[in-house]
Structures are given as structure tokens and as C-alpha cells.
A and B are shown apart, each in its own frame.
Chain A
Amino acid sequence: MNKIFLIIQREYLVRVRKKSFIITTILVPLLLVLIMIAPIFLSNLKSGSQHIAIVDQSGEFSQIFENTNHLNFINLDRNTNLKNVDKLLKDMNWDGLLYIPKLDINRPLGITLYSRRQMGLGTESYLRHQLENQIEKQRLAVKGYDSDWLKQFKVKLNINSVITSKIGNKSANSIVSYALAQIMGFILYFVIFTYGSMTMKSVVEEKRNRIVEVLISSIKPFQLMMGKILGVAMVALTQLLIWIILIGILGSLVFAGSIPYLNVNPNSQAISQMGAQTSTTHIEKIIIGLQSISFGPLIGYFLFFFLFGYLMYSSLFAAVGSVIDDDTETQTMTLPIAIPVIAAMLIMITVIEQPQSTLAIWTSIFPLFSPIVMIARIPFGVPTWQIISSMILLIITFLVFIWMAGKIYRTGILMRGKKVTFKELWKWIRVKN
């Protein structure tokens, strides 16, 4: 056991000390959080403090636009010459110019927003909603109704989705489950591939450097292989844990920082007054959804399926690595491993659309697919018997695979200059002792 520990230690330290490891470990969560928050911030930054000139031919609309922290309106003379709008915008340093012709309220055509750059969705929708609101009012007024009278009929709805099974009986939000399922499924796919092939590379290197015979004269081949697999697993675990912690910290910091900011955003306030679905309510939903998920068990399941999914596949990768003699063989030999991993990922994408379908149930129990498919199903709620049978099958498959891999590895690492067929591999597995 002590010797396996030495192998684990070396495999771990060699990798963790690498610059590339340190960089990806820190950069990935930063990028992920950036990607998540970038759209929110970008839309806000654009509407930062924009100056919009208004040419209102009828004079009926100019009063509906009120200055806010983010938007400044300048009312221009209705006869302003618009032949050279671009020069005007440039000279005056305005972000946009809204032209409202004399409108037929039954056919309100010809409203134009001139700008030198994209104005940002928030600003545009604010302008549109204000105009729509005003035209609505006018139409109602023509028929003799007050706009307040209409408000009493407006309805604002939020559908509360509740899963009634034991596992998921808390109110959960399908958007959050969907996102979590996708993220976890993809991370597992990525981890199995990256770290599986890292194990393979490590085996190939020792074979190619010809150090392997010295090694196995000191320790048993199985110990060497196990040490490698576990060493790389520790590297993966370290990276994942750092990711989870960093994303957790960064994510909550950024969220906490952005929520009040979003609430004072005049655009969204104005828009929500109109009763439309807005980004604020989306974010509220996400926060409620996130709060409804019990992250403890989820992280537990995630680590379990990561660990055994990785162990199962990396034992195959190690076996393949021991057989490979030159790079040209790598592709043909890794293909049989890559196919189920890629298939699992594709199945996962369909399964999260219908997480309780028959396909979902069986593929999440089948051990070659379960690490990726099951983890993607769990946020939606999965019956206990399915999770347990999936876990047991995965452990059993891992044990069978590691035993087979040990047999192949033992013979493979000392083989040179000979192409090995799958038939031969089967022979090696059956050889006793």
C-alpha cells in the first residue's frame, strides 16, 4: 500500500505543479462566471447614461420620456433638419435621435430611432414600451376609456413548478434544473475525457521512456496502474473542488453585487410596469430556483459519479495506453472508449428535455452512460431505486474493468514493436496468473 501511495504522490505532484494546471484551475471558473454575468452587465453598461434627442412632429409624445440616471432626453424643434442626422449626432455627441412623425393612432408607422451605434436592447424596448403605452392610452381615450380602467384587467402570472416525488418535493424551477443538468453533464463528459486520456498519456510515456521495466521490478504492475489512476483522480478532484469553491464564491459575490443594481435599472422597472416579462423576474426566478436546490446531496452525487465514471473509463484508458506502441495506433485503440462517452453526452442532451422518459431511465442506469446521463437527470428529481441501482452497477462495472485492465496492462507494457489485436487482448485477459 505504501508503494501505491508513492506512485499516487508522484503522479499528483508532477501534474499539480505544472503551470498549465494552475492556469486552467484559476481561469476556468473566472471565465465561467464572466460568461454568466457578461450579458447582464453588458446590457446595463450600454444603457449607462445615454443622450437621446427627440423630434416629435405632433408634440404629443415628447412628455412621456422622463430623464433617469441612465437616459437623458433632449427635445428638439419639430422642424429640425434631419438630412444629415449622422453629422448632427456626431457633433452633439448624442447617442440617438428618436423621430416621431405625426401619427395615425390606428396605423402608427414611421417612428425611427437613429443612432451611430447599437443602442442596447434595454433602451430600445424602453422607448418602444413608452410609445406603445401612450398610443394605447390615446386609443382608449378615443373610445372614452381611462387607461387606469384597463389596468384592473391586467394579469401577472408566475407558474410555481413543484415536483411531488420524495426526492424533488421542493419547489424547483425548471430553468435552473435544466442549466445545472447541462453544466454537470458537460463537466463530467469533459472530466472523463481529459483525465482519462491524461492517465493514458502517463502510461504511454513510461512505456515509451522505457522506464517501466525498472518500475515493475520494484512494484507490481497493478499497483503502478492503480497508483496512476488514483493519482490523476486526485488531480481531477483537486481541480473540481477548487472550481466548485471558486465558482461558488465568485458567483455569489457577483450575484449579490448585481441584484440591487438590476433593481434600480429604470428600464426594467418601466418595462415591468407594463406587465411584460422582464429580466428582473427571470433573475428572481433563478435565485428562487437556486435556493430551492439542496446543493449538499447534489455535490455528493456529482462527486460520486465523477469519481466512479472517471475510474471506470480511466482503467480502460490505462489498458489502451499499455498496448499502444506508436501514435498512429492511439486513435484506433481509443475509439472504442470514445464512442460510449460521446454517445452518453448526446443522450444526455436529449434526456434533459425529458428527464423521466424511458430512454432517460435506462440510459442513466446503464453503467457506460450513467455517469454523464444520471448526473444530468438528478436536478430534475430521480427515484431512489434508480440512483442506487445506477450506483451499484457503476461500481461493479468499475471493478470488472479494473481487473481486466490490470491483466492487459501487465502484458501490454512490456510488449514492443508488435501490433496488438482485440483478439489478443481477450487472450491476455483470460490468462491466469
Chain B
Amino acid sequence: MILKIENVIKQFESVTALNKVNFSIKRGRIFGLLGPNGAGKTTLIRIITQITKPDEGEIIFDDSKLELSHISNIGYLPEERGLYPNMKIREQLVYLASLKGIPIKTIKQNMLELFKKFDIENWLDKKPSELSKGMQQKVQFILTILHKPKLIILDEPFTGLDPINTNLMKKEIREMSNRGVSIIFSTHRMEQVEEICEDIVLINKGKVLLTGNVDEIKYKFKKNHFLIKYKGEIPQNLLDELNIISHKNNEIVVKNEFQKNNNLLSQLLPHIEIITFKEVLPTLNEIFIDQVKGVSDE
């Protein structure tokens, strides 16, 4: 485990931002931190980055209690991000990274390496005010990973990026994960989570609703929906017997809870030719909405 959050509580005046939050992040995983606006994601991140302290609970980073020296092993790209508009990129990256206690020699070496990799070496002597927003974001991403941290926290990293740069960043995230770097990816954009995250935690109103592996969670919340694509015509009496979720053209989604799939198919086979048969797992978006709704309905 790279990070363990244990019974963390944080209270702001009358609002409980985090209420006994528990979860852990495995080494080298891309971990999705999900939740609607105001769920407590930013508060949690600010506790991990030691901007604020929890009222109660413990955070274990890299097998020891979180402390100030861990700052040099954590990279953080906040949602509210920016650069000094009139300071040369080179100077400001050296400055910002040296504040984390990284030796200047290492910073310069890593900086050149990364700027070469992203093919933007010629930006080093420019000022952010000369770059577009997307370009600045790329620089900020490099700043976040510049000191080769063990844990990287990305808060909505893709907002404002074009598809090409988004892919470039995703590729880099995966590469880092393969090298054993752990990544916390905070967002409310579910399709991105499904695409890149292996594990997630879903929090709402300061509480953990669910946490675990993405595929396992999807299985856990499966609704026994099956998609059938076919040729031919299903007789009306048969259709009436089935629990149909949706039906359009030659595509049908059936909820099949009480019989084996083979039985279902043998019922259909005399009438139609089956082209596709597969289970439809719920999207994270559906689970997210269901879970969040479930809590607010209580």
C-alpha cells in the first residue's frame, strides 16, 4: 500500500467535510477519487498534501505516518492551478521544485528530460503569458511529475485540454503507473475513470460510499442485463414473457434473473438467428448516480 486513510474526520464549523473516511491505495495503481461537487474530495486531497490537518484519524504514506518530509515524494496538480505569468518556465520550475526540497541539479536534469520527451524544449525560456492555456497545463503537469514522486495526485487534470494532449497525458499516466508510481485521479467525469482507473473510491457528503476494483464493483452492481443482437422476428407472445429493458430494431436488452442464459437462448433460437449475446454491466456513471441518489433519498 502506498497510502492508507484511516478514520479521517474533518470538520469545518458546522459542516462535516469528511466523516470517518477509510480506504487504501495499492502501489502502482491508478486510483479514481470520485464524488459529486462538495463531496469532500478537495478536503481529502488537501489532507494528503498536508495543506490542512485532519481533526482525527491517520494517514499512512509509504508504510509510515504521513509527515512533512513526504512532500518530496508527492506530486500534486490542483484543480485551481496556475503559474507565475511573467517568470520564465525554466526559472519557475526550478523554484517551485526546489521548494519541495529537491536538489537543483536533479531538477534541471529531470526538467530537460521531460521537456524533450514532450517535445517542448523551446518553451523553457518562454513565459507562461506567452503560452496558451493548454500549453500552460502541460507545463503544470510536468511540474507535478518533475521530482519523480511516488504518489501523484491529479485533480481534474484534463479540463481544458484538447484530445491530442489529453491522450499524451493519459499515456504518460499509464507509463508512470507501469513504473510503479501510484496515481490518484480526482474527477467527476466517469467515462475517464472507466478508461484509466483500476481502483476507485466513491465519496459523497464526506462519507465513503464504496471502494474497490473497478471491474469488481461493476460485477457487484450488475443487474443481469443481457444484450442480444439478432436476425429475424421474435414472436409477440415470447416477447411478453421476457423482462425487456429496451428494444429497438434488431437489438434487445433483457433482464434475465431467474433462469440460466442457455434456457433463455434455447427459447429464442427456434425463431431467430443470434449475432451477439453479451452481459451489459452498469457504467460507473450509473452506479455513481444510483449510489449518490440512494444516499440523498435516505
Contact = CB atoms under 8 A, between A and B. Distances in A.
B95 A6 contact: yes
Given A215-B96, A416-B80, 19 more contacts: A6-B98, A10-B95, A209-B83, A210-B78, A210-B80, A210-B81, A211-B81, A211-B83, A213-B51, A213-B76, A213-B78, A213-B80, A214-B76, A214-B96, A214-B140, A216-B51, A218-B71, A218-B100, A414-B46
B87 interface: yes
B244 to A, nearest CB: 48
Interface string B74-87: 10101011111101
B85 A217 contact: no
Contacts of A214: 76, 78, 81-82, 96, 140, 143
Interface in A405-428: 414, 416, 427
B250 interface: no
Contacts of B49: 217
Contacts of A209: 82-85
A3 interface: yes
Contacts of B27: none
A3 B99 contact: yes
A20 to B, nearest CB: 13
A217 B71 contact: yes
Interface in A1-47: 2-3, 6-7, 10, 14
A215 B99 contact: yes
A14 B87 contact: yes
Nearest to B53: A433
A209 B129 CA distance: 11
B101 interface: yes
Nearest to B95: A10
Nearest to B77: A214
Contacts of B96: 214-215, 218
A346 interface: no
3 nearest A-B residue pairs (beta carbon): A210-B82, A218-B99, A209-B82
Interface string B27-68: 000000000000000000010011101000000000000000
B-side interface mostly: loop
A24 to B, nearest CB: 19
A219 interface: yes
Given A217-B76, A218-B100, A211 B82 contact: yes
A14 B46 CA distance: 29
Contacts of A211: 81-84
Contacts, number: 53
Contacts of A213: 51, 76, 78, 80-81
Interface of B: 13, 46, 49-51, 53, 71, 74, 76, 78, 80-85, 87, 95-96, 98-101, 140, 143
Contacts of A218: 71, 96, 99-100
Contacts of A210: 78, 80-82
A276 B101 CA distance: 72
Interface string A185-223: 000000000000000000000000111011111110000
Contacts of B143: 214
Chain A at the B interface: SS class: helix
Nearest to A223: B99
A390 to B, nearest CB: 38
Interface string A377-419: 0000000000000000000000000000000000000101000
Contacts of A433: 53
Nearest to A224: B99
A414 B101 CA distance: 23
Nearest to A221: B51
A103 B201 CA distance: 111
A431 to B, nearest CB: 9
Contacts of B85: 209
A221 to B, nearest CB: 8
A418 to B, nearest CB: 13
A210 B82 CA distance: 5
B17 to A, nearest CB: 13
A110 B96 CA distance: 81
A3 B82 CA distance: 20
Contacts of A10: 95
12 contacts: A3-B99, A3-B101, A6-B98, A210-B80, A210-B82, A211-B82, A213-B51, A213-B81, A214-B140, A214-B143, A217-B78, A427-B13
A426 to B, nearest CB: 13
Nearest to A211: B82
Contacts of B74: 217
Most chain A C-beta atoms within 10 Å of own C-beta, residue among B80, B85, B95, B143? B80
Contacts of B95: 6, 10
A144 to B, nearest CB: 86
Contacts of B81: 210-211, 213-214
Contact of A217 (B51, B53, B83): B51
Q: Which of A2, A209, A213 has the most CB of B within 10 A?
A: A213
A231 to B, nearest CB: 13
A407 to B, nearest CB: 13
Interface in A210-253: 210-211, 213-219
Nearest to A227: B99
A216 B95 CA distance: 13
A218 B102 CA distance: 11
Nearest to A215: B99
A420 to B, nearest CB: 14
A217 B80 contact: no
A309 to B, nearest CB: 29
A217 B85 CA distance: 20
A19 to B, nearest CB: 13
Contacts of A7: 99
Nearest to B75: A217
A2 B100 CA distance: 11
B43 to A, nearest CB: 11
A418 B76 CA distance: 25
B54 to A, nearest CB: 10
A351 to B, nearest CB: 42
A433 B71 CA distance: 19
Contacts of B50: 217
A94 B56 CA distance: 94
Contacts of B99: 3, 6-7, 215, 218-219
Contacts of B100: 218
